[in-house]
């Protein structure tokens, strides 16, 4: 195995140790398009590859090169890693990790299968998914469902260290991919539907020692907020801002979990991520803005101290988690001035462009025409509601009250986009976004908190957005190209079902993504024209990657229907309001696909 790593052009870097060397290794790996060494491709979450062997002219000849069955039949989110001659693959619970030899037809080099208490499964919100692995310091990192973070020797698969990041008996679980930045591995927590208080934790990649932990709400000592220096929309947040907008001690079960993607700007030494919904889903029970749920965070990598925040959906009434990826892209925002921006496609249906240095809000526009819960985000800096969405009373689940069914709210709780990550292509300057086109009826009800028990407090029904728009369409997904400077859709491709797959774009002029029926698709970046599709064994909720091995470009994706959209199939649910409201909307999915867990790798014929 040692020999195998050394055989690659970057193999020597894989043997470097922690600290500055580890940071240099990851920077080098992400600049090499032959590799896919980070869960999102690079620190900036761009999911872009400069490979162009596969392009608009020849992609129609693409064909499966090899496949691998994971042996698990639940939702397969996330993507494999490729480091040197080895591919690292993960599964949903029980979270098996495979190392596959790319020099030998995907031969299994080692397999790690953790022993977890199956009692964690009932407290996993929306299927038993896991969104991927991380690599750094010669180790593979896995956040197990039971919140155990493990570091495995990348050459042998042997356990190097492990640490417990939460307590499943209190509803805390792990579904997100860890992220390695510099000499630290970062991991969040899931469980907002169980009243879990969200946090992000930095561990030393060398030995697993906790370096810092920052909570989403609570006193400044917990959130690591400086009341005088941390800003929100350009103003200091003030003392204990993570408590002041909560009633009593509700912040202790406040949600704001952190199960999404993280990004990092080495020049600023800041990490960026989003926090999720406040608990419960019944807004009547938690008056106030509920800070800092539904928030974009900028924290210092070494200390965890918060530089700035931006709360997108104060006092959330619809479960519009803010956990989606933060894409870091330098863009000309007018007058020839290039700014370091952060672009975020939120569950609430608004796409945000911010200055990632200062947190200044630059653009906030709807990226799905169905969005109706708010008219706009107030962009007037002199307005008392600056930066806040302007809520339409008809669609307020708070004003309408408990046990009242608020109908036709768009988007549904799963958002105009959920965790499935978008891609930024520097060649076009556009973002390519997998989206949902789904609305809902939402009925809150009173619920009491018991540790480890569901703390939801709402019943939902979801359906195609066309039912609300009155346009008679029944598609529940679109794949779009987005101009983040102007805040406009450039083109949009309809999909029968929500696009629950992460995308990758390439210098070959292509965007790749998967569909819930199981198709891998390739479209032209400039026009959206479909150039290729192939139906894999099961619905795709995984994220497409591309890499090069032995001079040949490959495209790889995990298929295995499940996740929130496919929970009916994955968990055998049939009532329309089950799966937190999703089952009815995707009932016909069973006519097109079935359970499976397969990696499919594509290439051009020789």
Catalytic residues: 319
Q: Which residues of 378-406 are buried (b: 16+ CB within 10 A; e: fewer)?
A: beeeeeeeebbbebeeebbbbebebeeeb
Sheet of strand 430-436, all strands in order from the earlier edge strand to the far edge: 423-425, 430-436, 477-483, 488-495
- Residue 154 falls in which region: left (phi positive, over 0), alpha (psi -120 to 50) or beta: alpha
Report the DSSP beta bridge partners of residue 491.
481
Q: Which residues of 85-103 are buried (b: 16+ CB within 10 A; e: fewer)?
A: bbbbbbbbbbbbbbbbbbe
327 in Cβ contact with 344 (< 8 Å):
yes
- DSSP, res 10: T
Q: How far apart are CA 341 and CA 334, in angstroms?
A: 13
Q: How far apart are CA 591 and CA 485, in angstroms?
A: 40
- Between the CA of residue 206 and those of 110, 386, 505, what are the distances in Å? 21, 44, 33
Q: How far apart are CA 248 and CA 331, in angstroms?
A: 43
* β-bridge pairing 179-181 and 598-603: unpaired
Residues 6+ apart with CB under 8 A from 66: 105, 106, 601
Sheet of strand 338-345, all strands in order from the earlier edge strand to the far edge: 326-332, 338-345, 350-355, 361-366
Tokens of 268: 């600023």
What's the sign of the alpha-carbon dihedral 439, 278, 291, 433? negative
Whether the ω angle into residue 94 lies within 30 degrees of 0, i.e. cis, is: yes
Give the H/E segment covering residue 27.
helix 20-31
Length, in residues, of the chain: 606
């Amino acid at each position: 195995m040692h020999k195998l790593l050394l055989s690659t052009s970057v193999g020597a870097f894989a043997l470097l140790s922690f600290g500055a060397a580890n940071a240099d290794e990851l920077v080098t790996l992400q600049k090499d398009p032959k590799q896919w060494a980070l869960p999102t491709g690079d620190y900036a979450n761009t999911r872009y590859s400069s490979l162009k062997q596969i392009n608009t002219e020849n992609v129609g000849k693409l064909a499966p090169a090899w496949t691998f069955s994971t042996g698990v039949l639940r939702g397969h989110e996330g993507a494999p890693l490729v480091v040197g001659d080895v591919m690292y693959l993960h599964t949903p619970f029980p979270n098996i990790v495979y190392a596959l030899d790319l020099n030998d037809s995907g031969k299994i080099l080692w397999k790690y299968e953790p022993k977890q208490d199956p009692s964690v499964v009932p407290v996993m919100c929306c299927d038993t998914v896991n969104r991927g692995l991380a690599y750094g310091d010669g180790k593979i990192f896995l956040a197990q469902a039971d919140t155990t973070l493990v570091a495995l020797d990348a050459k042998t698969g042997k356990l190097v260290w492990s640490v417990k990041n939460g307590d499943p008996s209190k509803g805390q679980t792990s579904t997100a991919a860890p992220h390695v930045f510099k000499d630290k591995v970062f991991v969040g927590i899931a469980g907002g539907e169980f009243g879990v208080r969200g946090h992000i934790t930095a561990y030393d990649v060398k030995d697993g020692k906790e370096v810092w932990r920052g909570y989403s709400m609570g006193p400044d000592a917990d959130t690591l907020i400086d009341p005088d220096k941390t800003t929100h929309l350009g103003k200091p947040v003030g003392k204990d801002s993570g408590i002041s907008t909560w009633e009593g001690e509700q912040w202790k079960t406040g949600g704001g979990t952190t199960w999404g993607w993280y990004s990092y700007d080495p020049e600023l030494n800041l990490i960026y991520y989003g926090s999720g919904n406040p608990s419960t889903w019944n807004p009547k029970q938690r008056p106030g803005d509920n800070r800092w749920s539904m928030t974009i965070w900028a924290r210092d990598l070494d200390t965890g101290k918060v530089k700035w925040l931006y709360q997108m959906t104060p006092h959330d009434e619809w479960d519009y988690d803010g956990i989606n990826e933060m894409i870091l892209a330098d863009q000309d925002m007018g007058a020839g001035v290039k700014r370091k921006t952060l672009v975020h496609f939120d569950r609430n249906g608004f796409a945000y462009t911010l200055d990632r240095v200062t947190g200044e809000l630059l653009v906030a526009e709807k990226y799905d025409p169905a969005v109706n819960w708010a008219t706009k985000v107030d962009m007037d800096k002199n307005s008392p509601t600056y930066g806040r969405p302007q809520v339409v009373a008809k669609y307020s689940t708070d004003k309408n009250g408990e046990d009242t069914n608020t109908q036709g709210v768009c988007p549904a709780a799963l958002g105009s986009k959920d965790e499935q990550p978008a891609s930024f292509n520097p060649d076009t300057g556009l973002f390519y976004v997998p989206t949902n086109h789904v609305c809902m009826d939402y009925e809150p009800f009173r619920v009491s908190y018991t540790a480890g028990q569901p703390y939801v407090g709402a019943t939902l029904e979801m359906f195609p957005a066309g039912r609300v728009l009155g346009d008679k369409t029944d598609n529940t997904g679109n794949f779009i190209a987005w101009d983040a400077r102007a805040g406009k859709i450039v083109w949009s491709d309809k999909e029968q079902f929500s696009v629950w797959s992460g995308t990758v774009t390439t210098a070959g002029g292509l965007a790749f993504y998967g569909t819930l029926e199981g198709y891998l698709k390739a479209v032209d970046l400039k026009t959206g024209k479909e150039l290729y599709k192939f139906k894999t064994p099961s619905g795709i909720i995984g994220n497409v990657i591309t890499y090069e091995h032995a001079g040949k470009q490959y495209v790889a994706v995990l298929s295995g229907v499940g996740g929130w959209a496919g929970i009916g199939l994955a968990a055998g649910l049939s009532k329309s309001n089950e799966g937190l409201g999703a089952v009815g909307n995707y009932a016909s999915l069973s006519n097109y696909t079935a359970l499976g867990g397969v990696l499919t790798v594509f290439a051009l014929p020789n």
